[in-house]
Amino acid sequence: MSTTTRQLILQRCFEAIQAKGFETLRTDKEIARLKITKGAFYHYFPNKSELGYAVVDEVMLPFYEQKWASLNNIESGIAAAINAIFENEKSKATDTIIKRGDVLTNMILEMSHSDELFRQKLEAVNEVQVRILQKAIMAGRVAGELKSQTDARSMALFIIGQMMGCYTIGKVRGSKDTFISMVSTLQKQVKDTLVMDSAVMEKKESSVASTASAPPSYPTFGSGSSNKIVEEEKAPRGGWFNRSR
């Protein structure tokens, strides 16, 4: 049995779950569509639950991790990067996608109350997104782009939860336009709550530049270090939030 066959089974079943949910998944139909034997299928997955666990671990988790991957190890331009993810979610929305809803949310509602292991695995998918976003928010604070008074983890949980809610309301209303409108509102909320006001940022940068250009009253260590600080502070920051919305 090849690894490719196993991956094909997982991907096909993930697509079926996206379309109609896990509880309605018919493994016999997927076996027929894949044109493999039942023996080949059950060699990898002895039952439907084991198939579901593998789909969450090996397909869903990387799928959602990739959604926020642009924020990994980012040190500047965090605000613009977060906004780009919102814009991507809006641009790829189709009537079919919105009517299906968010597959993670759907599986949480279907399975987390009846199968504790499923709940734990679905929580892990949620958590990987939260941690990526949390780390990026913390980096944004260090870069002086994001406000420091909001708890990074709480804000990350809020953003992920709100995105799931946008899909849910879009699904129940069968409306792509509703989904897009809600995501746009979320963008404004994030901007107002999290992002440093451009006037405040400019004032801080001006203050840092003035201090750096003044004659030092202490010994300097290494040539050009002050100039480097000024250049870093003057670096462009998240252009999205400088535009009025």
What the chain holds in terms of domains, given with CATH numbers, is 1-46 (1.10.10), 48-196 (1.10.357.10)
Supply the pLDDT for residue 242: 43
Supply the pLDDT for residue 198: 56
Q: Is residue 45 helix, strand or coil? A: coil
What's the burial of 169, exposed, middle or buried (CB within 10 Å: 0-12/13-18/19+)?
Answer: middle
This prediction's pTM: 0.78
Site of tokens 């001006």: 206
Identify the band that residue 89 occupies on the pLDDT scale cut at 50, 70 and 90. very high
Determine the average pLDDT of the residues in 7-21: 94
**20-37 burial: b if 16+ Cβ within 10 Å, else e:** ebbeebebeebbeeeebe
Q: Is 161 left (phi over 0), alpha (psi -120 to 50) or beta?
A: alpha
Distance, in Å, from the CA atom of 245 to the CA atom of 241, rounded to the nearest integer, reads 8
pLDDT in tens, 159-207: 999 999 999 999 999 999 999 999 999 999 999 999 987 534 444 444 4
Distance, in Å, from the CA atom of 223 to the CA atom of 228, rounded to the nearest integer, reads 10
Please list, in sequence order, all residues whose beta carbon lies within 8 angstroms of the beta carbon of residue 45, skipping any fewer than 6 positions away: 9, 27, 51, 54
